[in-house]
Structure 1
């Protein structure tokens, strides 16, 4: 039954992405603003998140929304835990501002889905270009952040299994420092229901915890990322303690004398 439910969810996404993509492409041809195209894309992402509940029993709950800026002009860099595809759909659906992902250009080749994200104001890069790719992230990231668009990045770079910790890279904090914008850490327990590289979803609740913005002025990118990692990983252990080995209690100090 879980396989069948997951198959129906996948088919639902494959079918519904077609009309939404056609609308986005039409709006682009007609000269509609990026904000208008984003609203259409966001509606499809939200629909897919809802559908994961209908078909697969995957729900979510969010805490910390009050930590997010409420001004249309306050840009932030969201730094999120990355365990599955689920958060790439969920976070744009729940955030109050348009988001711009930094993603590899190969995704543009996916029919309909790739055409959609290629028509949005996001940042696609060729990872083979190294420093040139990062310069593009900084240039376009600054432009978007000044417009009030929030840039979202996964500092671990790729999806990690439940209970594991990837290598936190400093590209995101370097961007935030250079742009003079705060970073907002986000913990997501999506692998409880939708493990990485898994087709079958498991019913349950995905917890999302949003931290307070961390100022970047005067910070160094390594120690800033260390602070982000410490918050995210501590929060992951709080939200999903079953996924992490228990920390052994310290041994008592030897008796004196």
Structure 2
């Protein structure tokens, strides 16, 4: 009961915060993109603080290596709404998010995303969506913006994964920029369709950059997925995984054919 009460308070405060921050965001639109990103990042900080104070849900970040100085492509596990806030806070660099175009129609949030240099794709468009990510992603990277991608395409149930979409790996290969794999266990506390936010500490692990040189997009994808699934089994060993080992998960995704 206490979890539901705290979660209701948090959801209410988050919903009320969005139009306020969007108004501030629009005031920053005439200025440099970094101003807009700073406003968005302040919202992320505020939401993570609220989660800690209201829902007793904290987080810890673990870095496995140094981040490159230039822009990168980030491939992040997607199983919660938490990581949409987490990434914007953890990476102190202007970001461009790959997202489904339907989100642009969400009042306030979607309107702001239109001015946030997002790459809004039609997920049913197949190869055209991949081409869009590559074309617009190259432009964003040239402008020193990091490209943030959830390669599983949508939030996955806890313990499951799917074959990663190829667009992020192709983009990194063509741009010659590193891929940063990101793993977390936010789904243990805030599931994809879960109203209640359980108290605890989300662990986010940010991996060593993957150099795309001498690797095919498929090899980049599989290396990122293998690392993420391996880390996940270390930070959340008690989950009911669809595939007991990370190697089995990647092999099963490979057998499912290209996406």
- Provide, for residues 140-160 of structure 1, a one-character-per-residue CA deviation record: whole Å limited to 9, x for no partner: 111111222111111111111
- The Cα of 1:62 is off from its aligned counterpart by 0.5
Instruction: Report if aligned partners of 2:75, 2:182 keep a CA contact under 8 Å in 1.
Output: yes
Map 1:142-153; keep pairs closer than 5 Å. 142-153=138-149
The answer to whether structure 1 residue 12 and structure 2 residue 26 are counterparts is: no
5+ residue gaps, structure 1, are 249-257
SS of residue matched to 1:184 = strand
What is aligned with 1:185? 181
Find the aligned partners of 1:226 and 1:130 in 2 and give their Cα distance.
20
SS of residue matched to 1:157 = coil
- Provide, for residues 3-22 of structure 1, a one-character-per-residue CA deviation record: whole Å limited to 9, x for no partner: 11111111111111112101
Instruction: Report if aligned partners of 1:157, 1:169 keep a CA contact under 8 Å in 2.
Output: yes
Instruction: Report if aligned partners of 1:67, 1:210 keep a CA contact under 8 Å in 2.
Output: no
What is aligned with 2:27? 26
Find the aligned partners of 1:170 and 1:146 in 2 and give their Cα distance.
20
Find the aligned partners of 1:148 and 1:66 in 2 and give their Cα distance.
21
Find the aligned partners of 2:44 and 2:223 in 1 and give their Cα distance.
30
Please point out which of 145, 159, 162 is paired with 1:163. 159
Find the aligned partners of 2:64 and 2:97 in 1 and give their Cα distance.
20
What is aligned with 1:108? 104
What is aligned with 1:222? 218
Map 1:86-125; keep pairs closer than 5 Å. 86-125=82-121
What is aligned with 1:46? 45
Larger Rg: 1
Instruction: Report if aligned partners of 2:65, 2:209 keep a CA contact under 8 Å in 1.
Output: no
The answer to whether structure 1 residue 242 and structure 2 residue 238 are counterparts is: yes
Please point out which of 205, 212, 215 is paired with 1:209. 205
How many residues get paired? 243
RMSD: 1.7
SS of residue matched to 2:80 = coil
Find the aligned partners of 1:158 and 1:99 in 2 and give their Cα distance.
19
Instruction: Report if aligned partners of 2:10, 2:50 keep a CA contact under 8 Å in 1.
Output: yes
- The Cα of 1:247 is off from its aligned counterpart by 5.6
TM-score by length of 1: 0.90
SS of residue matched to 1:93 = helix
5+ residue gaps, structure 2, are 246-259
Find the aligned partners of 2:230 and 2:126 in 1 and give their Cα distance.
31
Instruction: Report if aligned partners of 2:64, 2:208 keep a CA contact under 8 Å in 1.
Output: no
SS of residue matched to 2:156 = coil
The answer to whether structure 1 residue 138 and structure 2 residue 139 are counterparts is: no
> Aligned pair in 2 of structure 1 residues 247, 36: CA closer, same or farther (>3 Å)?
closer
Instruction: Report if aligned partners of 1:237, 1:244 keep a CA contact under 8 Å in 2.
Output: no
